[in-house]
Structure 1
Amino acid sequence: MLSLVELLLAIMCLLVMGVNVWVLIDHLLTIDVPPTLKHPLKFRILHYCFHLTMTWGNILEKVNICSSPCFFGFVQDNSVSKKNLGVFVKDLLFGTIPVRLFQPKGASSKSRRGIIFLHGGGAFLGSLGEDDPCSKKVQPP
């Protein structure tokens, strides 16, 4: 006979699979990909992931676990690529404002250029961490 933990685990697995299948079927039946799109498969995958994240956010919000924007922000912050592109990253405080300093790892014999980037948020979504990939790729010519 199944224990209570095994039963709850089986129910959770069925719920996760059911939501994934529902989002996939909904995606395949309702989304028309424009024929002029260069990467239709990439578009479909990104749309499916976005739709799945929003669906789970709505489910978690309805059962009072967390709000949908909070869940979406959590997924967004944890899905950002953490590649090291030859840049040293240091978090600082400028007064009370969090600042992230990006410096090339190699030594320089002359003065280095800098960019001041002020992250303004985005209503209820956005964080300083999601701009890391863009900031790390900024290199002087």
Structure 2
Amino acid sequence: MAKPVLDIDIIIPLSALPSARTALTNTRYTDCGEMNVPGRFAFRQPGYGRSDAAHGAGKNGELRYNTYLMIEGCVALRNHLDIQRVLLGDPELREEYARVKNELKEIEFENIGQYAIGKTEILCKILRKAG
């Protein structure tokens, strides 16, 4: 269960950050910076700006995707990997997470932050299981 947006993590060492940011912006991605998540640098796909929503249907019905440069070892990356590991190994928790996301997809949010807040409780439960 997921929003109809693909999230792509590109894992890099901190030393590669300047060249990776340049490479993405040179191919028309919009650099949105860390957006209050240390070590995770967000980029909007070509054709979308910093103020465009990071969710929902594309302008012409195309798949939406968010690309992130993730600094090796950062908390956000560890969380992504721990969530994936736990959900792959725990069918009951995976179903609970799917139920929460199903409920959230029925709500019209003003911004992606509200969607994220709606997932906080289940994500914390998953991360607690991850240790």
Structure 1 length as normaliser, TM-score? 0.25
RCO higher in 1 or 2 (8 Å CA, sep ≥ 6)? 2
Which of structures 1 and 2 has the bigger CA Rg? 1
Task: Name the structure where strand makes up a greater proportion of residues.
Answer: 2
